[in-house]
Structure 1
Amino acid sequence: MSGTRGDVQPASHLAAELHSRGHDVVAAFPPNLTSLATDHGVPVEPFGYDTRAHLASAAVRRGSHGSVIDRVRSAGELWNLGWAEMTRDLSAIVHRDRPDVVVTGITTEQVAAPLAESVRAAVVGLHHAPVRTNDVHLPGFGADGLPAPVTRAAWSAYENVLWTATRRRENTVRAGLGLPSARRPVPYRLADSGAVEIQAYDPALCPPPAGFDGDRRPLVGFLGGAPAPSPLHSELAAWLDAGDPPVHIGFGSMPLRAAERSLGRVSEAVRSLGLRALVAPGWNDLDRDVEQEFGPDADVRVLSGHVDHAALFPRCSVVVHHGGAGTTAAVLRAGRPAVVRPVSADQPFWGRRLEDVGAGVMLRGDDPTPSALASAIEAAAARSDGARRMQDALVDPERAVARAADLVESRIPVAR
């Protein structure tokens, strides 16, 4: 499993549940996120490249914020980044352990599928958004609500363009494994094989489109479970106790063009409302003097290190975030309204879903002003009742992960 914390953490919960049931489980996670498995007591192997360093690269920053030409150039640079490392690392694990089941996200399925086929293992997909052809949703395309034929045509075009661009590299792997060349995109081949693709998001937030929530693509809810939330540091807990619940503003794993400037705008926005704020830089590095300015005693305070969302979000008034599926789930579980300021991928999709269910608002525009941010925070705060309703409607996270583990177990043969 590759990607950011939001991609990998649900897989860590699933791995932990299968491990607790007595299965031999090995988690293959990016080297910067292996602790997500070890925290659960699950054996882990570093897999592929450091995803934090990847997102901080110049190519990713151009792809997120540059001109159209910059973005096209960046896509070309990033297309095959990490492919050799992922193939090497996962091949070593699969051929050493010869698993019954290989669980993969969409970013790694072109590596995982042929390797699983080479050892006759089943493939189980773990999806954090509806990322297969359907008539309704287009996560990552920046558009929903289009006529059904247009939506399906967009999916078909995407899958075939991606396959045209990547089939040579996959068929090179297949040839090295003694497998025949593939002639169709991975989603079609997985469908032909009857592979289960677990939809690890909540039907209350994203009702299933036609063809989902059946045996092939069951919706189970956002995955969660043990360990329990980590307690907040005593100093942070004291700061929270000393005033009204703050606005939490998290940059997540998304690269920002100017983190210090963004922090300044955040500060101006919340102070104009007479509020306090906690700012989590995430995978963005801040200058030391900036961290000192927004220190432990400031009304706008910068958090250092990782703080457990499950422990912190219930103590906040509004959560401003990038719209990743993992953070969206954590905010909903806390019953807090959200402002989503998306950067890329499926984040605009989750922002629109939160708006549609009355649990948040989406802040549009690439570089919001302090006044726009302040207005969005006020609008989100007015949706607190909707956020609490969604909290009550969600599938219990432990029940979701148990269902996902059942589905993986259903693919394990009785005898090899």
Structure 2
Amino acid sequence: MNIIIFSVGTQGDVRPFIALGQGLQNKGHKVRIVSGKTCEALVRDNGLEFAELSADFLEVMAKDPRALQRGLNPFALMSTARHHLKTMAVDWAAQGLAAAKDADLLLGNGMVAVLANSLAEALKIPMVETHLQPVTPCPDIPPMMMPPPKRPRSGTANMLLYTVLRSVTWQMLSPAYGMVRRELGLSALPWYGPYYRIKNKDRRILYAYSPSLLPRSAAWPQGIQVCGNWFFSEAKTWHAPEALQAFLDAGEPPIYIGFGSMLGDDAEALSKIIYESLRRSGRRAIIATGWGGMAPPKGNADNIHVIQAAPHDWLFPRVAIAVHHGGAGTTAATIRAGIPSVVIPFFGDQPFWAWRLAENGIAPPALNRKALTPEVFAQAIGQASMSSMQDAARAMAGRINAEDGVARAIDLLEDWEFLTPTDESQASPAAIKAVLDPSLAESA
């Protein structure tokens, strides 16, 4: 089968789908990922087809770094997001049709789930939603885009907040998708958006986060499932630069500090606070500058090593603590490695994942970027260094590493009859050998 996956954003929004795509290819299916051009090499280098969708979020953040500050407030973000998304979506109908021309199944993630759904409607093919964070209303999980509650809210309050946030979300998306649907020859979506057109019992949604970190809501119907993380692994093929390996070998496991694809307007100020705290403590640290969320230190310091980036599944098992932004992928990588986190959120779902880490005892409460001081940062590092938090992180790693999110997702797609069994000519080499020689079946 030809499976086309739509996901845009940073690399953290695409890496899980490379893992899922590779799993699907191992089952004999053909997979194409549709995303922004900045992810093209990543997709192609890992053996999957790529199709471009105009969605350069690095360019957006570079031109408008204050969008990240507004991103912690969904209401303040609305007008900015409406403008950027409408500009991006000018070519989405044509690009989407070209990418999906030979598709048997579409998967649509996050903000482009509506695009995939509209294409599926136009092409009359099936579509399944995917998300990296919970967005389906329920009384027992607080809405992900709101500040986490200091104490549990009532189910009624949570459901009311979901209704408000769905309205806000559709106000952000509707100008872009009104244009897309007109170009696809489809009727306009209602003023309240697409969310109530399909009853929850008829929806099919795959969530790619760990049920150990956040259990599935008891209120969701069976068509909405939490699979576990779709981990894209690079550790076995990545070779560390000599300087990085030498730094790791030279002393105790360091602290990792990096904010991935976050690019705020306060990188210099934030970095200065962190470097001052490290200077006072003498703690060893690896600084990952990423897209610019951390500035390199001024001058040399024996206790600091600077890199641009390194695969989390290689680096995190070699560090003691990870200081990060709380993105879904980075959060999952810290848990998988069995290390505590210190989270400084920038945007969107990051405060939510920081809250889940703290609720599970594997991170102190999230730090406010605007109120951070060297003393506050040092205190959080001290909490994450405590044996109780280290033990809790190792215990959580045992649970998450027992999950196989990719296999679970594929099983569900087969159970729901979106995937059909593949014949021998499409199967992987190991599977073909097993068919030809049954004695190899167990090893295959």
Q: Distance in 1 between matches of 2:246 and 2:168?
A: 53
* Correspondences of 1:138-157 after superposition (within 5 Å): 138-144=143-149, 145-157=152-164
Q: Distance in 2 between matches of 1:67 and 1:248?
A: 24
Deviation at 1:400, TM superposition (A): 1.1
> Aligned residue for 1:265?
273
Deviates more, 1:113-122 or 1:191-200: 191-200
Which of 183, 200, 209 aligns to 2:208? It is: 200
> Aligned residue for 2:361?
358
Q: Distance in 2 between matches of 1:276 and 1:242?
A: 10
1:131–1:320 Cα change, 3 Å: same
> Aligned residue for 2:252?
244
How many percent identity over aligned positions? 30
1:185–1:260 Cα change, 3 Å: same
Paired residue type of 1:404:
A
SS of equivalent residue, structure 1 residue 102: strand
Does structure 2 conserve the Cα–Cα contact (< 8 Å) formed by 1:361 and 1:380?
Answer: yes
Which of 267, 275, 291 aligns to 1:283? It is: 291
Which of 376, 379, 384 aligns to 2:380? It is: 376
User: Which runs of 5 or more structure 2 residues have no equivalent in the other structure?
Assistant: 1-6, 422-444
Which of 389, 392, 400 aligns to 2:395? It is: 389
RMSD of aligned residue pairs (Cα, Å): 2.6
Deviation at 1:48, TM superposition (A): 1.8
User: Which runs of 5 or more structure 1 residues have no equivalent in the other structure?
Assistant: none
Deviation at 1:129, TM superposition (A): 1.2
Q: Distance in 2 between matches of 1:51 and 1:155?
A: 26
Deviation at 1:292, TM superposition (A): 7.0
Which of 312, 320, 325 aligns to 1:322? It is: 325
1:238–1:395 Cα change, 3 Å: closer
1:326–1:82 Cα change, 3 Å: same
Deviation at 1:174, TM superposition (A): 2.9
> Aligned residue for 2:51?
45
1:191–1:19 Cα change, 3 Å: farther
> Aligned residue for 1:115?
119
Does structure 2 conserve the Cα–Cα contact (< 8 Å) formed by 1:139 and 1:349?
Answer: yes
Which of 409, 412, 420 aligns to 1:407? It is: 412
SS of equivalent residue, structure 1 residue 125: strand
Deviation at 1:113, TM superposition (A): 0.9
Taking structure 2 as the reference length, the TM-score comes to: 0.84
Which of 142, 157, 162 aligns to 1:137? It is: 142
Q: Distance in 1 between matches of 2:273 and 2:172?
A: 40
> Aligned residue for 2:98?
92
1:105 matched to 2:109: yes
Deviates more, 1:266-275 or 1:82-91: 82-91
SS of equivalent residue, structure 2 residue 364: strand
1:185 matched to 2:193: yes
Which of 62, 75, 79 aligns to 1:56? It is: 62
1:414–1:262 Cα change, 3 Å: closer
Does structure 2 conserve the Cα–Cα contact (< 8 Å) formed by 1:204 and 1:390?
Answer: yes
Offset from partner CA, 1:50-91 (integer Å, 9 cap, x none): 222222222x42451599897565345335241223333212
1:215 matched to 2:222: yes
> Aligned residue for 2:431?
none
1:110–1:375 Cα change, 3 Å: same
Deviates more, 1:351-360 or 1:32-41: 32-41
Which of 220, 225, 231 aligns to 1:224? It is: 231
Taking structure 1 as the reference length, the TM-score comes to: 0.89
1:302 matched to 2:302: no
Between the two proteins, the alignment pairs up a number of residues equal to: 405
Which of 108, 126, 140 aligns to 2:130? It is: 126
Deviates more, 1:37-46 or 1:72-81: 72-81
1:81–1:370 Cα change, 3 Å: farther
Deviates more, 1:24-33 or 1:73-82: 73-82
Offset from partner CA, 1:209-228 (integer Å, 9 cap, x none): 2233x531111111125554
Q: Distance in 2 between matches of 1:413 and 1:265?
A: 51
Q: Distance in 2 between matches of 1:132 and 1:44?
A: 29
Does structure 2 conserve the Cα–Cα contact (< 8 Å) formed by 1:355 and 1:361?
Answer: yes
Deviation at 1:37, TM superposition (A): 1.7
Deviates more, 1:3-12 or 1:137-146: 137-146
Deviation at 1:30, TM superposition (A): 1.3
SS of equivalent residue, structure 2 residue 225: coil
SS of equivalent residue, structure 1 residue 86: helix
